[in-house]
Amino acid sequence: MQKLIALVLSLCMLMSVLPAMAENAPAAENENAAGKETPDEAAVLAEQAKALYEAGDYEAALPLFLKAAEMGNPSAQYALGLFYDLGLGVQKDAEKAVEYYRLAADQGLALAQCNLGVCYYNGNGVEQDYEMAVKYTRLAADQGDVQALYNLGNDYFSGRGVEKDYSEAYRLFCLAAEKGNADGLFAVGECYYLEIGVEKDLEAAAEWYRKALDAGFVPRDDEEAAHLKELIPGWVDNRSAESAPAEASARTTKIEAHFASVEEGQQLMRNRTLYHEQINAKNLEFMLQKKGGTLEEFIDYAAEQVQPFEPEEEKRISDILAWMQAQMEKHGLALPDPGTITFVKSSGKEAAGAAGYTSEGAVFLTPEFNSLTEDQAREIFVHEIFHCLSRLFPEFRQAMYSLIHFKVLDHDIDIPQEIRDEIMANPDVEHHNSTAVFTINGEKKECYLVFLTDTVFEKPGDIFINGAYVGIVPIGESVIYRADEVEDFWDVIGRNTNYNEDPEEIMATNFGMTILRLDDGMESFKTPEIPEGIITYLKNGGK
């Protein structure tokens, strides 16, 4: 439940900057209209700059905005904040953006206060500070800024920078909804659905969802889509159709890194994800190293494992990112752009000693990562980036899985309970919704993969990975086959890796190996078609 709005929050925080741009125009007009019969010189300059900006001539608008900003015009200051924030006609510069937002915010401009709050929230151009985020967001919300009302609602929901208060979150979402804000309308629906500050009421939820859709709301993740699907008969999820062109055009070689503070890392650990829904009693025994643990205990335990990064660890990550960028550029490749990726350091005890894993848009790295050789570290690093991209870009995921003959279904597979009870959950495998055709006893069957273990937890020190193996399950059956019982197992998934518990891991491993070996060519792979397919995809922008 927590995940849902937390995710909404991070995305809304990004997007709030964009619609604000359009609001800049009326804001500038208001400044001019307010008070004076004859607009002052700064306001005239700002108007001229605005006209140039609206004509798309950012370069010409910039010096005029600068002059008007120096003369103290808050709308011009706010506009410059946006220019630097978004890189319009200038090199992106988050610190300068903060500087200009602050000038306008101090003069009481709500749009600037709202965006300054977002900068504090994301630690963008200023040290991350949730309390300062709340302070500025509240100033804007008090003036009725609709985005700020919505953002502040999220702050009360998540308890970041302010004491958690679901009733207040609900009240603020309602205020944003009253103003017709699509995210606010949907958030009110979510409150009814998830019982946040208001009693659960699915009929009311459906009503608010409908209003949100009428206002142009588009779900941002599968859970939001699932709620709409459940409560709005006939609603069609055409997100992938919409996101495909954007996906193909937004390409990058450079991935920005953000290093999480301990507090932030703990919050990420506490965000409920689909991974948590898969954790069964068997998983808990191994992870907590005792019988009868609960999910809540595990989440607390996981949060306790977060550690601060050492400066040399941050440097190693930055160096690997720079290496990755250089390799991509050298070979003419580009990735779907995931924006900034958050890195969190943890002890790894919560993840069976893995060197790394991911959750939402964050990569968790452990001390195990420090002990790897340079090549190993690079490969694992790219492997984790793959998981983030796969989660963010369905079209990328489908294209990658198809290289090992898997297709992604539009729904999660209905796995029999007796198998669910045995699956070793993996944070990088949130969905069991991909299948491939395997030959079993001479018969071709559509199957999915599950990760299992023969080991039974008896005493501390027992680890599941010792007896771990991949299970192949035909759709609609409860029989689990082992790889050696499937005639064409290796023909289907390729022979480049033994890490074969799920197509997600098979492809993440192939992906890491491919980027690592770009300079050597792909002849060293047992199944070179897979890395060749990856390279073709990255070269052609997904077409």
Nearer to Zn ion, 133 or 508 (CB): 508
Alpha-carbon gap, residue 488 to 106, rounded angstroms: 67
Closest approach of Zn ion to the CB of residue 504, in Å: 7
Closest approach of Zn ion to the CB of residue 339, in Å: 21
Closest approach of Zn ion to the CB of residue 533, in Å: 19
Nearer to Zn ion, 102 or 391 (CB): 391
Closest approach of Zn ion to the CB of residue 428, in Å: 4
Asked if 508 touches Zn ion (CB under 5 A), the answer is yes
The one segment of 17-25, 132-140, 154-162, 497-505 that binds Zn ion by CB under 5 A: 497-505
Closest CA to 489 of 506, 466, 514, 477: 506
Closest approach of Zn ion to the CB of residue 393, in Å: 17
* Amino acid at position 231, single letter: L
Closest approach of Zn ion to the CB of residue 191, in Å: 35
Closest approach of Zn ion to the CB of residue 328, in Å: 20
Nearer to Zn ion, 145 or 428 (CB): 428
The one segment of 76-84, 220-228, 364-372, 501-509 that binds Zn ion by CB under 5 A: 501-509
Which SS3 state, helix, strand or coil, does residue 196 take? coil
Phi first, then psi: give them for residue 358, nearest 5 degrees. -135, 160
Draw the binding track, 126-155, toward Zn ion (x: CB under 5 A; -: no contact): ------------------------------
DSSP sequence for 10-68:
HHHHHHTHHHHHHHHHHHHHHHHHSS-SSPPHHHHHHHHHHHHHHTT-HHHHHHHHHHH
The one segment of 44-52, 333-341, 465-473, 500-508 that binds Zn ion by CB under 5 A: 500-508
Token pair of 105 as six digits: 């915010």
Secondary structure element (H or E) that encloses residue 369, with its range: helix 367-370
Token pair of 352 as six digits: 């069976």
Alpha-carbon gap, residue 209 to 185, rounded angstroms: 7
The one segment of 35-43, 72-80, 403-411, 426-434 that binds Zn ion by CB under 5 A: 426-434
Nearer to Zn ion, 69 or 380 (CB): 380
Nearer to Zn ion, 222 or 505 (CB): 505
Q: Sign of torsion, CA 317 318 322 328?
A: positive
Nearer to Zn ion, 114 or 355 (CB): 355
Which residues between 82 and 121 bind Zn ion (CB under 5 A)?
none
The one segment of 78-86, 365-373, 423-431, 456-464 that binds Zn ion by CB under 5 A: 423-431
Write 525-528 long-range contacts (CB < 8 A, 24+).
Answer: 525/496, 526/494, 526/495, 526/496, 527/494, 527/495, 527/496
Token pair of 45 as six digits: 């300059």
Token pair of 166 as six digits: 């679901």
Alpha-carbon gap, residue 54 to 75, rounded angstroms: 14
Asked if 379 touches Zn ion (CB under 5 A), the answer is no
Nearer to Zn ion, 266 or 359 (CB): 359
Asked if 428 touches Zn ion (CB under 5 A), the answer is yes
Closest approach of Zn ion to the CB of residue 383, in Å: 5
Number of residues engaging Zn ion in binding (CB under 5 A) = 3
The one segment of 9-17, 262-270, 407-415, 427-435 that binds Zn ion by CB under 5 A: 427-435
Nearer to Zn ion, 313 or 428 (CB): 428
Closest approach of Zn ion to the CB of residue 181, in Å: 38
Nearer to Zn ion, 160 or 387 (CB): 387
Closest CA to 17 of 99, 101, 95: 101
DSSP sequence for 277-330:
HH--HHHHHHHHTSTT--HHHHHHHHHHTEEPPPHHHHHHHHHHHHHHHHHHHH
Nearer to Zn ion, 425 or 508 (CB): 508
Alpha-carbon gap, residue 438 to 488, rounded angstroms: 6
Which SS3 state, helix, strand or coil, does residue 8 take? helix
Chain residues that interact with Zn ion, rule: CB under 5 A? 428, 505, 508
